[in-house]
Structure formats: structure tokens, C-alpha cells
Amino acid sequence: MCHQSFPHLCFSVSELRVVLLGNSWSERSSVGNLILGETVFDTEKEPDQCQRISGTLEGKRIAVINTPDVLNVNISHKQLTDYVTNCASVSDPGPHVFLLLLQPENFTEEHKLSLCRVLESFSDRSFDHSLLLISTQREESPGFKKYKEHPLLNEMIRKCKYRYLEQKNLEHSELLTRLGQILKENNGEHVSYEVFEEATDSLPDDERPKQQETQTPLIDAVKAAELSCK
């Protein structure tokens, strides 16, 4: 039976998994708290690994996975590989939605490349599962260029099939509805961690590599993703 408050939460999956990506821990945590309807993420203290917190809303289980700052332009390939590996483990068996929190005034070519690396290291279908959440809180600042005129941001909007929301005055019900829509558009399927699966599917269970041993193929995938995003 569908609920009147959040009709798109009538999904058939047992748990909706949402991964938060962006360059502000405080904003990611605030949005995670908004999704779950309570203050569960510490907006001040940023951990060095992904953090997963689950909750239940109108009988539906939702897991929010908050990530470290993967858009840090100084991040090394190894650090990025470690973050992606950790995110894949924490979001197992895979995320349904990537929620990308972007600030137009700070979004650079380097940020775009880092974001592409993360998404494409997961799967080439990640953009089909992505929703942009655009911060507009500083639009009155001098020299600010409206995000609709921002070429890099527009490129990301196109990659994500024009799925985006403005963070300003965002309603809880509106955000949950959009998350549910993305789930429905993808027939309830989650993103599979393709790099790890392809490397291990053909091996017997006792010969499959441990998690830390997946870093070498992951680094290759990250480099390939970097080239495809340019």
C-alpha cells in the first residue's frame, strides 16, 4: 500500500541505499540527516572512511552512506582507490542512488574529473543512478555566475540525464520523491561494483582476492575513468 506522504517510497526493494558525494562534509551530513529525518550524522567531525547509517521511514528501510572528501583535488590515486573500495564495501551489495552535492562557485574541472573517476570506477551505469543537489546559497555574492550558466555544472547535469534539485528551500518529501523516482526508473536495480565482480567472478571462492588486493585493477579503472571524463 502506498503512503500519501511519500508515494515514491513504495519501492519493492528491501532497502534503499543512497551514497552522498561532494566536497563539503557539513552539507553532506546535513542532507543525510534530512533524508533520514533525524540528526544522526555529525556535521562537524569528518571521518577518514565512509559512514553508513540506516533508518526506517513509513515502514521502508533507507541506508545513507556518507563519504570522505573524494573531490579533494590533491587526492592521490591510491587514496581515491581506497575510498571507492571502502564505499563499495559499506554500500554492499551496491547503491541505488548517488546523490551529488555540488557548489557552483567552487566546482572546477578538477572536481568534475574526481567525481567522474569515482562514479565510473563503480560502474559505467552510475550516471543513470545519479541526482545532482545544487547549492545556491551564495548566489548573491559578488561575481557569482548562476549555475545554469556554469558550463562544467551543465555538463554534469547532462551526464545525469538532467536529474537535479536546488538545495535551497528543499523539502523532505521532494527529495525522497526524487530518490524514489530514480529507483523506479532503474527498475529497482542497484549499481554493481563491476571492477571487483569482473576480477573475481571466474575464480573459485577460496582463490578470490581479499579486499585490499583489488586495489591494482581499481587503479587501472580510475585512470581509465579519468581519460573518459576529459
Confidence class for position 6, pLDDT limits 50, 70, 90: low
Distance from C-alpha of 53 to C-alpha of 187, rounded to nearest angstrom? 24
Confidence class for position 216, pLDDT limits 50, 70, 90: very low
Helices marked H in the chain: 25-36, 77-90, 109-122, 151-159, 172-185, 194-200, 215-229
> Looking at the domain assignment, is residue 3 inside a domain?
no
Interval 125-137: pLDDT, tens: 999 999 999 986 5
pLDDT of 47: 84
Region 9-32: mean pLDDT is: 87
> Looking at the domain assignment, is residue 118 inside a domain?
yes
> Looking at the domain assignment, is residue 197 inside a domain?
yes
> Looking at the domain assignment, is residue 148 inside a domain?
yes
Q: What angle do CA 100, 94, 5 make, to 5 degrees?
A: 65
Mean pLDDT (the chain) is 79
Interval 28-49: pLDDT, tens: 999 999 999 999 999 888 888 9
Please state, in angstroms and as integers, the Cα–Cα distance from residue 11 to each residue in 3, 169, 172, 179, following that order: 11, 26, 17, 10
pLDDT of 230: 58
Task: Give the CATH number for residue 65.
Answer: 3.40.50.300
Confidence class for position 106, pLDDT limits 50, 70, 90: confident
Q: Bridge-partner residues for 17, per DSSP?
A: 63
Region 95-105: mean pLDDT is: 93
- Determine the structural domain holding residue 34 and report its residue range: 12-229
Region 137-166: mean pLDDT is: 76
**Contact assessment for residue 111 and residue 71, using Cβ atoms and an 8 Å cutoff:** yes
How many domains does the structure of the chain reveal?
Answer: 1
Model-wide pTM > 0.75: yes
> Looking at the domain assignment, is residue 156 inside a domain?
yes
> Looking at the domain assignment, is residue 7 inside a domain?
no
> Looking at the domain assignment, is residue 202 inside a domain?
yes
pLDDT(169) > 90: no
pLDDT of 7: 56
Among 89-93, 161-165, 204-208, 209-213, the least confident range: 209-213
pLDDT(218) > 80: no
pLDDT of 204: 44
> Looking at the domain assignment, is residue 1 inside a domain?
no
Region 194-202: mean pLDDT is: 46
Using DSSP's 3-state secondary structure scheme, residue 21 falls into strand
